Amino acid sequence: MGSASAGRQVGARDRDDEGRARNARPRDGLGRPLPYGSDGVARQPEGVVRAPEESVAEAQSLLDAGKPFHAHEVFEDAWKSGPEDERALWRALAQLAVGLTHAARGNVTGGARLLRRGAGALAEWASATGRRRPYDMDLTGLTAWARDLAEAVERDGESVDARDRAPRLRGARGVS
C-alpha cells in the first residue's frame, strides 16, 4: 500500500494544498511516521462527518484491524462535528484509542495515563448524562477495559498487541 496523503513538501515542512502544515510522511498501522517513499497504511481522512452509528462501526473496524491511531481519528471527527452535549463522550473515546496506540508503541506511562484519563471521562460523562449505552456502546465495559489495560501495561512494562487488546465498543473484552 502507498501513502494516501495529499500535499507537497516545501522546504523542510510538508504543506497541504491550502498551505497549512501537514506531515505527509507515510505512517504505519500505529500512526508512526515512516521514511518518505516507504509503503505505509492509508491514512484516515480528516474532517469526515458521519452519523454516530457509522463512527462507532468504522472505529470498531479499525480497532479490530489493530489500528487504534486511525480509530482515534474517527472519534476525533465525531467529537469535532457532533452535538456539543456529546463532545466529551467522543473525546474520551479518542483518548482510549490514543492510550491503546501508546501502549502498543511501548509507551507504558503515556498509554496508561491516557487510558485512565479516557476511562474517567467516560464514567463522568455517563454519570452526568445518565446514558450508559449511547449508540449501543457499553461505557461501563469500556471503562473497565481501559482501567484493566492501564494496570496490565504498567504491571508488565511492555508493549501490547493493539489487535489482541482492542476493546469491543458494544461489549468490552476482558483484559488479563
pLDDT digits (tens, 9 = 90+) for 142-156: 999 999 999 999 999
pLDDT tier, 8 (very low <50, low <70, confident <90, very high otherwise): very low
> pTM for this one?
0.82
Domain limits of the chain? Answer: 1-43, 52-156
**Overall CATH class of domain 52-156:** mainly alpha
Among 38-42, 69-73, 104-108, which is the least confidently predicted range?
38-42
Q: How far is CA 153 from the centre of its chain?
A: 17
Per-residue model confidence (pLDDT) at position 37 = 85
pLDDT tier, 22 (very low <50, low <70, confident <90, very high otherwise): low
pLDDT digits (tens, 9 = 90+) for 108-138: 999 999 999 999 999 999 999 999 999 999 9
pLDDT tier, 163 (very low <50, low <70, confident <90, very high otherwise): very high
Rounded Cα distance, 145 and 140, in Å? 9
Burial profile 160-174: b = 16 or more Cβ within 10 angstroms, e = fewer? bebeebbbebeebee
Q: What is the DSSP letter of 159?
A: -
8 Å CB contact between 149 and 121: no
The mean per-residue pLDDT over the stretch 65-81 comes to 96
Per-residue model confidence (pLDDT) at position 31 = 81
User: What does the CA dihedral 72, 77, 82, 88 come to, rounded to 10 degrees?
Assistant: 30
Rounded Cα distance, 44 and 8, in Å? 18
Q: Which DSSP helix (H) or strand (E) runs through 41?
A: none
pLDDT tier, 176 (very low <50, low <70, confident <90, very high otherwise): very low
State the helix-helix crossing angle for 139-156 and 108-129, rounded to 10 degrees. 160
